[in-house]
Amino acid sequence: MLHKSFGLIVLISILFISCSDNKNFFNKVVSVQKKSEGYQLFRNGQPFLIKGASGVSNFEELKLAGGNTIRLYDTLNLKQHLDLAASLNLAVIVDIPLQVKNMNYIDPDAIVWISEFVNTHKNHPALLSWMLGNEVYFPQLFSNGVTKRFNAILDEIHRLDPNHPVSTAVSTGAVKEILAIKWKSPNIDFISINVFGRINDFKSIKQLLFLWQGPYLLSEWGNNGPWESNSTTWKAPLEQTSTKKAQEFNDRYVNVINKIDDGRFLGSLAFYWGQKQETTHTWFSLFDEQGQKSQAVHELENVWKTRENVFNGPMIGQILLNGKEGWNNMIFTPKDTLFAEIALRNLKDDYHFQWQVLPEMWYELVDDDIIFDEPNLIVDEKGTSILFKCPNTEGPYRLHYKITNKSGYFATANIPFYSMKHTD
């Protein structure tokens, strides 16, 4: 009888411990749970698949488009951004920037301000997770310089805030970084991968994920980055039209993201939800400076809401300069007068057209709000064509074209060329 009673006590104890663990799990605001078939992200006790974007603005448009998450890189005014997200029932992934000095060690003062930062915002209802560094450089697999302090910060965040998971973002080429994180930072809750155009080659990403074997987020995806694009002989990347980018957003979500079923996928974030100067002011921008939307926003709404609504805004087919495309490496002199034209797919009466000749900015760092304009170049311009003079100052340039109308959407295209003075 005593033996049976002891067995019953052990069984009750096991059940109590199991229930307590389960209770602790569901008491967490956000958690990644390991299950027999893989991993599941939970928010407030409910399964949660991340469908969102990376940026710092246009929260209302994200909600209307069917997104549920915003990744914030900018920690300025974070409280106001978190409050706005909460009012719209949007989840927020908060980036914690890490400064890696001399590629050898993380600033030793980082743990102090990060602790204060986490303590300030850890209880906000909009918070989904922390992103500890964006493409942090792990120089050597067995070097303690970066990873030792990275782990100290990671453990401190977990101690201060056990209710939200912590991730870090890597690029698709970060094989050594993935191995270093796996072997030396095993307490990271999930990995985030900035994939951009490499998402089309998902087999190679799977090979990278094979090294990780844990849960993951596709943290930056969308149109090809400048480093993934063809360039002129003077290294000016060739940018696609906004119409082509929009089609890629749709195709990549439908044919890749929507078909991921590996038990480890936590969701995806489109890039960039807002206006951003990077190579050009239009390369990644899903919105313009006035808050108008690109066609890619429409396509994201279609895939997030599983619908096929027809786009009725402006669409561009092709831009030609002196009858040629950008890959022709066009070099002119200040004596030349140039002619460009645009092929439109759906010309409407309410279209507003804008042509600009701008110096290239891919080779230097500039503020997001600065756009340089080359004056007195335009000889004659019409809606779909322009006659202009080649700039006097030698160097790389780009002809930009933009269409807007009452739809609230815009379309853009540009083409690079080079101005070279004759040497007499």
Q: Tell me the pLDDT tens digit for each residue of 347-391.
A: 777 899 999 999 987 655 444 444 555 678 999 998 899 999 999
Q: At what angle do helices 175-184 and 144-160 cross, to 10 degrees?
A: 60
Q: Tell me the pLDDT tens digit for each residue of 386-418.
A: 999 999 989 999 999 999 999 999 999 999 999
* CA–CA dist 396, 406 (Å, integer): 34
Nearest Cα residue to 192 out of 116, 129, 275: 129
Mean pLDDT of 203-229: 91
CA 10 to chain centre: 51
- Domains plus CATH for the chain? 27-304 (3.20.20.80), 316-419 (2.60.40.10)
Pairing between strand 378-381 and 352-359? unpaired
CA 110 to chain centre: 24
Q: Tell me the pLDDT tens digit for each residue of 258-307.
A: 999 999 999 999 999 999 989 999 999 999 999 999 999 999 999 999 99
Q: What are 232's two structure tokens?
A: 């002129």
14 pLDDT band, cuts 50/70/90, is very low
CB 69 within 8 A of CB 50: yes
CB 209 within 8 A of CB 230: no
* CA–CA dist 293, 168 (Å, integer): 29
Q: What are 210's two structure tokens?
A: 């094979």
Return the pLDDT at 75.
Answer: 87
Q: Tell me the pLDDT tens digit for each residue of 47-59.
A: 999 999 999 999 9
CB 107 within 8 A of CB 97: no
Return the pLDDT at 356.
Answer: 92
